[in-house]
Structure 1
Amino acid sequence: MHFGMPMSGALLNTINIRLGARTISVLLRHSGSRLLFVNLRSLPLARSGFELLPANHRPLSYEVDSDLTRFDLTYEKVIGLGNPDFRWIRPTSEWSPMILNYTSGRTSAPKGVVHCHRGIFLVSTDSLIDWCVPHHPVFLWTLPMFHTNGWCFPWGVASVAGTNVCLRRFDGQLSRSLHGTVQILTTGAPPPDAVLARVESLGFAVSHGYGLTETAGVVVSCAWKGYHWDRLPAGERARMKARQGARMVMTTMDVVDEATAWSVPWDGLTMAEVVLRGGHVMLGYLKDRGDGKGN
């Protein structure tokens, strides 16, 4: 879907299957979705959401699954019906919308974040550079793809001819011992120092970053100073790795006073607002310009 939807000229809106039926119905109605592709395991949830929608707001749904055949229209059969000579419907502009993601942010109401083709290209490329992703990587998915499109790594991994390993759930207890170093990218709040130290002792190399739905991916990260920091004691290395704040290549960032918009010291103590500018900052919120008029 991450490739098929944009290639067909449609917008992709990945829905969080951990949400309740009521919230899903709100997202479907607000987005105006016309097609809904549902895995069979999520079908009861989708139907519950449909029941809360007026009949004229219900999108056409397709049940797709690769290993169950109780429905005539399976994923493989849909692919088989495709036209091999189909010409991609390319965007009229690189600023044309490509994806729609919902986030609650600081409010309780979901907000639809719209990103364009240009922005998704930039953040996908930026993430590969910052994490030093090599050609032909093997990428194990533990982050759901409905979470900001997996930080845009569905497209990034494909661009470096990588292999995606997708599981319905990940159980660390079933994992085998490692035969080499495995790179982990963790985002959001930093793990405790003890957790980082323990994970790295098992053979994982952890990189830490932070991003927003509004930026489509990671925008700041811990810029590891290998020559100096590799020689620190394990506990101190973990403490340094938990830091983040070095902007990535395609992002401009500042920390400013909320009232004056003047820059403040980057000392980890001064309370202020982080502001970001770059080509992969969102186009805006769907039907909400922030002034009550909508767009």
Structure 2
Amino acid sequence: MSAGPSSTPSTSAPGDRWSRLVPGPHNRVPLTPVGFLQRSAEIFADRVAVVHGEQRIRYAELHQRACRLASALQRQGVQAGDVVAVMLPNVPAMIDAHFGVPMAGAVLCTINTRLDPDTVAYILTHSQARVLVVDRQFAPVVATALQRTQHAVRVIDHDDVLYQGPGERIGQCLYEDFLAEGDPAFAWTPPADEYAPIALNYTSGTTGRPKGVVYHHRGTFLEAMGNISAWPLPLHPVYLWTLPLFHCNGWCFAWSTVAMGGTQVCLRAVDPELIFRLIGEHGVTHMCGAPTVLSMLTASPAAQSRTYRHTVHIQTGGSPPPAKVIKAMEEIGFQVLQIYGMTELQGPSTYAAVQAGWAGLPLEERANFMARQGVRYPVVEAQRVGHPDTCEAMPQDGQSVGEILIRSNTVMLGYLDDEAATTDAFQGGWMHTGDLAVWHADHYIEIKDRKKDIIISGGENISSVEVEIALYRHPATQLAAVVARPDEKWGETPCAFVQLKPDMQATEAEIIQWCREHLAHYKVPRKVVFGPLPTTATGKIQKFALRERARSA
């Protein structure tokens, strides 16, 4: 019996056999997280996708809202590659934007809601944003920012029924009215190039000016899938937004949760009592946040009366939580997972994967393992602690300090309009994180210091140089330096060391008030120490000595 011509072995050279099998539209579709919504709307149309107060948005409606947004943006002239900025808390409109903006072919820029007017003006100008959606709570900051930039942007007001505070409408129309102008049957297709930009996130650089970090469709798709596999995220999770969605696009969890047909519970601001109530009401299974959030939860009176039969999983990044916080979180039904990432890595890149043998260890010893930054995500190709200049791997002895280097599809495209910084970041074919760590024999990494003197306070990055620039503007300042000071609530806060000019006077309260007038409030030093600053023979301030002083200041 003949097998037929289709199974006849080829007599061609071995390489020719494979070269005839070429990818095409049948098996090569650009990767993008936007498609997750279309799939979940088809399969889970009636499931609740978003909860906000009394509002319930099901998947079919969420898909329509995203389509309307994309359609309305295009009708306003937004084209592929244009930037659409939003300055919003964790509200449904923010979730709309993560799908609707890229559906329109545009790039989503989520602006940190804690920034000052000057920085917001800089971001609007540098990004060349065509549209800005702003919540009424942040209207005063944005109104001032618009006065300080010559860049023209169409402003859309977002009015939330859950917000009753001050703030005027400053835009041309209301967000819900803008959505109504769009077509719910908008036909979306994936981008032709999966490396097309999808998001633009600004992060403080060492000069104090934010740098525009460009995310791509392929990277955010894989980061979203990495979240699902590393935690892991089950089918139909209930995710509570205790992490700001403006921060690394919520570590890509807006996309991850939708991929699994989950429910996203919105939260305008971190409020421990409300968090405990929402967990109970909605059966929250997953949430993320800075170590500050963990400390706030364990210190809340509500924690004493709230325990849950189900486990609530919480990811945290930044300063490792102390053993007492991990113990307190476990006692009220939370399971903590320490992660490490940065804006340039599109979210978490490394996590303290739990080993079976840790369960029987004493808490202090187990907490030491859990507090390490850990091993690479399943979607991260390579990670090492290497020499900052040569990129050669350091010994895995838990003692040799090197820089954390990453090579992955989840690394950013680069910094917008900053070729020099991009080249430096990718030197030697690796993403240079600027974080110094040791590498253990079990492949887990552990951060020891921050190369760029970035202060992480409550999960937010603060450039020490930016704060120093503000200090130098004070007429009484001769020398200034800012370092991280350990803080039980925030993990770290800025500590300023100021050397005054001869015959000039200033008080701590005066310096702090000066900083409040020139910086976002979360960047303001909590402590100011006066006196001569230690310097090297070349006049460079010895920050390592100041870090030691800050611990006891």
TM-score by length of 1: 0.92
Which of residues 381, 396, 399 is equivalent to 1:266?
A: 396
* Counterpart code for 2:378: V
Contact 1:182 1:205 in 2 (8 A): yes
Name the residue aligned to 1:160. Answer: 260
Name the residue aligned to 2:148. Answer: 52
Larger radius of gyration: 2
How many correspondences in the alignment? 290
Looking at secondary structure, tell me which structure has more helix per residue. 2
Name the residue aligned to 1:286. Answer: 416
1:84 to 1:171, Cα distance in 2 relative to 1, 3 A: closer
Whether 1:125 and 2:199 are equivalent positions in the alignment is no
Map residues 141-160 of structure 1 onto 2, 5 A cutoff. 141-160=241-260
Whether 1:194 and 2:290 are equivalent positions in the alignment is no
* Secondary structure of residue in 2 paired with 1:236: helix
* Counterpart code for 1:97: P
Name the residue aligned to 1:231. Answer: 360
1:292 to 1:186, Cα distance in 2 relative to 1, 3 A: closer
Identity of aligned residues (%): 41
Output the CA distance in 2 between the equivalents of 1:154 and 1:40. Answer: 23
Name the residue aligned to 1:8. Answer: 104
Output the CA distance in 2 between the equivalents of 1:274 and 1:191. Answer: 21
* Secondary structure of residue in 2 paired with 1:29: helix
1:291 to 1:258, Cα distance in 2 relative to 1, 3 A: closer
**Comparing 17-26 with 233-242, which one deviates more in the overlay?**
233-242
Output the CA distance in 1 between the equivalents of 2:395 and 2:244. Answer: 36
* Unaligned residue ranges in structure 2 (runs of 5+): 1-96, 278-305, 424-553
State the Cα distance separating 1:89 from its structure 2 match: 5.2
Q: Which has the higher relative contact order, 1 or 2, with Cα contacts under 8 A spaced 6 or more apart?
A: 1
Output the CA distance in 2 between the equivalents of 1:66 and 1:19. Answer: 20
State the Cα distance separating 1:274 from its structure 2 match: 1.1
Contact 1:66 1:75 in 2 (8 A): no
Contact 2:386 2:393 in 1 (8 A): yes
Output the CA distance in 2 between the equivalents of 1:145 and 1:87. Answer: 26
Which of residues 387, 411, 415 is equivalent to 1:257?
A: 387
Output the CA distance in 2 between the equivalents of 1:192 and 1:11. Answer: 38
Name the residue aligned to 1:39. Answer: 135
Contact 2:323 2:363 in 1 (8 A): no
Q: Deviations over 1:210-255 (max 9, x none)?
A: 00101101111101002x1111122222222111221111211111
Output the CA distance in 2 between the equivalents of 1:292 and 1:181. Answer: 41
Contact 1:113 1:285 in 2 (8 A): yes
Contact 1:63 1:73 in 2 (8 A): yes
1:171 to 1:185, Cα distance in 2 relative to 1, 3 A: same
State the Cα distance separating 1:88 from its structure 2 match: 1.6
Contact 1:264 1:270 in 2 (8 A): yes
Q: Deviations over 1:21-74 (max 9, x none)?
A: 0011011111111100011111111111101011xx121101022428997943
Whether 1:97 and 2:193 are equivalent positions in the alignment is no
* Counterpart code for 1:74: L
**Comparing 249-258 with 205-214, which one deviates more in the overlay?**
249-258
* Counterpart code for 1:240: F
Contact 2:133 2:175 in 1 (8 A): no
State the Cα distance separating 1:76 from its structure 2 match: 2.8
Contact 1:119 1:282 in 2 (8 A): yes
Contact 2:156 2:175 in 1 (8 A): no
TM-score by length of 2: 0.50
* Secondary structure of residue in 2 paired with 1:62: strand
Name the residue aligned to 2:336. Answer: 206
* Secondary structure of residue in 1 paired with 2:108: coil
Name the residue aligned to 2:123. Answer: 27
* Secondary structure of residue in 2 paired with 1:205: strand
**Comparing 216-225 with 87-96, which one deviates more in the overlay?**
87-96
Cα RMSD over matched residues? 2.0
